[in-house]
Structure 1
Amino acid sequence: MRVVVGLLLLLLGLCGSGAQGEAGGLGEVAEINQNTDPKDAAEESTEQTTKQTYPDIWTELRALRDMVVELNVHMELLQRENSATELVSLESRLTSSESRTSDLEKENADLQTRLSSSESRIDQLERENSEKPKVAFYTALTDDGHLGPYNTDITLKYSKVFTNIGNAYNPSTGFFTAPVKGVYYLQFTVMGLNADNTAVSVYKNNQRIMANWEQNNNMIQKYLTNSLVLELTAGDEIHLVLPSGQSIYDSSGNQSTFSGSLLFTL
């Protein structure tokens, strides 16, 4: 832009100088015509022919100046068009960015909704878990060694309580009482020593539901183990019975045990 302006100033200066030269030249021609002798006519004719070429040069310079002005105008139009194109491009990019931002906001809102739903579900599970009764017990029989044989059935009272979550087992009576309706897992192990025969029965609400025995003829230790999965209602009772004529051995080694837990509620 600065080059174009400089060129215009130069052309204007040349045009001004040319105009002064033309005026001066005409005056000089008049003076020469008045004072020149006939013998100089040929020289004067030659000078006049030379001066007649100047108007053509100034015409070309003016045309060149007009071309420069036109070029300048064209450049300004191009600059305006480029600015408009850039503006349209920026507007398009801005619209695209706004659309992407809107999509991200929607995705974020969806994630927030899902997170809230997950948190609500976790809170519900935590409440259900906290409200769900926890039942588990593990006991051993005695430290006195041999128990039995007796001439009548006796209820086994497992006096050594190691775990009693929910307090569903009563060591004073030997009874396990289901606190809620559900499915329970129960297991027992009894040991027979020397020539004693070993047996144990499982009772539910004073009704025998399982009988187990082991005959020992080899004067060695023998173990009897079994387990049950029972559906119990709240208040149902489970206890183990040593049949008459049978014996069990237990010591500080806890060879004879009784345990159970709640699998799930119903």
Structure 2
Amino acid sequence: MRGSVVLLLLVWGLCGSEALQEGSRLESSEPQSKILTEAAEDLPEDNAKQTDIWAEVRMLQDMLVEVRNMEVGLKEVEGLKAELIANKMHMEQLEMRLRQSEVKTTELEEESAALQARLSSSEGELVISRSRIDQLEKQTAGAPKVAFYASLTNSGHVGPFNTEITLKYSNVWTNIGNAYHAATGFFTAPVRGVYYFQFTLCIDQEGFMGVYMYKNNQRILFNWGYTNENGYLKCLTNAAALELQAGDEIHLRLPSGHSVYDDGNRYTTYIGYLLFPL
């Protein structure tokens, strides 16, 4: 009978321990270990066998406590494991971002190297251009500056005449170097070089308009036009680049039977300038 009581107390203690592990709250206000201890004390201790049983009961209680501690430790280990997994994922993300940053840094370094190469090339070209400009400045430093611009007249029609005449562009607006002579209509080259000349002719009545260009006494160009309308301007323009020696003369002549028109609006004009000396 006593053995049965002890066995029942042991089973009840184990059940109580399992209930505590699952989180069930006991209605009893005293711990099971205390109840078991008091129950054991109420039993008569008449032999060594009963003492061994209670020792085993206490040992089982100690084992249950250790099991609970192990379960708590396992939960902590699981928590640490989850934290380690999260940290590992975070580290992998950081490593990915680091690799992306390294790729971007490499691209920026390559772009910087390319820009540096272009800058070096541009600096070299700038030095060459500056040298060429210096050479041109030295070449043109002592060269004369020659340019003129003039219009024919303010009085309207000039011609037609029965003979060829020299056109004297009397309204001189620019004459740098004084190479153009309004009184004669002649341009005289001050230095050997290449010169540019351009003229424009207009007419506002029925008939022919035209002009000859002479280099010294040699005719080198002829332009002409015709209109059968009165009161409407018709114009033509031409130009020439000529190599001249110092003292060579250029002038324009109106052919016989031709006429031109000009007034304050400067329809019929004549320009020339030195491109570069030789």
TM-score, normalisation: structure 2: 0.53
Contact 2:146–2:274 (8 Å) recurs in 1: yes
**Mapping 1:143-154, distance limit 5 Å:** 143=154, 154=165
Change (3 A) 1:21 1:146: closer
Letter in 1 for 2:213: V
Distance 2:60 2:234 in 1: 134
1:189 aligns with 2:193: no
- Quote the offset at 1:76 in angstroms: 1.8
Distance 1:121 1:177 in 2: 40
Change (3 A) 1:103 1:176: farther
Distance 1:146 1:26 in 2: 150
TM-score, normalisation: structure 1: 0.55
Contact 2:201–2:209 (8 Å) recurs in 1: no
Mind listing any 5+ residue stretches in structure 2 that lack a counterpart? 1-19, 24-30
**Mapping 1:153-168, distance limit 5 Å:** 154-162=165-173
Hey, what does 1:101 align to over in structure 2? 105
2:251 partner SS: strand
Q: Matched residue pairs, number?
A: 233
Contact 2:151–2:170 (8 Å) recurs in 1: yes
- Quote the offset at 1:111 in angstroms: 4.3
Letter in 1 for 2:250: I
Distance 1:89 1:215 in 2: 87
Hey, what does 1:80 align to over in structure 2? 84
Which of 220, 238, 250 does residue 238 from structure 1 map onto? 250
1:181 partner SS: strand
Cα RMSD of the aligned pairs, angstroms, is 5.6
- Quote the offset at 1:160 in angstroms: 0.7
Letter in 2 for 1:110: A
- Quote the offset at 1:244 in angstroms: 7.2
Letter in 2 for 1:92: M
1:91 partner SS: helix
Change (3 A) 1:149 1:98: closer
Change (3 A) 1:18 1:233: farther
1:206 aligns with 2:217: yes
Change (3 A) 1:254 1:23: closer
Distance 2:178 2:125 in 1: 30
Contact 1:186–1:261 (8 Å) recurs in 2: no
- Quote the offset at 1:79 in angstroms: 2.1
1:28 aligns with 2:55: no
Change (3 A) 1:188 1:82: closer
Contact 1:146–1:250 (8 Å) recurs in 2: yes
